[in-house]
Amino acid sequence: DAGVIQSPRHEVTEMGQEVTLRCKPISGHNSLFWYRQTMMRGLELLIYFNNNVPIDDSGMPEDRFSAKMPNASFSTLKIQPSEPRDSAVYFCASSLQGRDTQYFGPGTRLTVL
Partner 1 sequence: QKEVEQNSGPLSVPEGAIASLNCTYSDRGSQSFFWYRQYSGKSPELIMFIYSNGDKEDGRFTAQLNKASQYVSLLIRDSQPSDSATYLCASYTGRRALTFGSGTRLQVQP
CB of 80 to partner 1, least distance (A): 25
CB of 47 to partner 1, least distance (A): 9
Contacts of residue 6, Cβ cutoff 8 Å, sequence gap at least 6: 21, 22, 23, 24, 90, 91, 92, 105, 106, 107, 108
Residues that bind partner 1 (CB under 8 A): 31, 33, 42-43, 45, 48, 55-56, 91, 98-99, 101-107
CB of 82 to partner 1, least distance (A): 22
* Closest residue by Cα to residue 32 from 88, 89, 87, 91: 91
Our CB check for partner 1 shows the closer of 81 and 106 to be 106
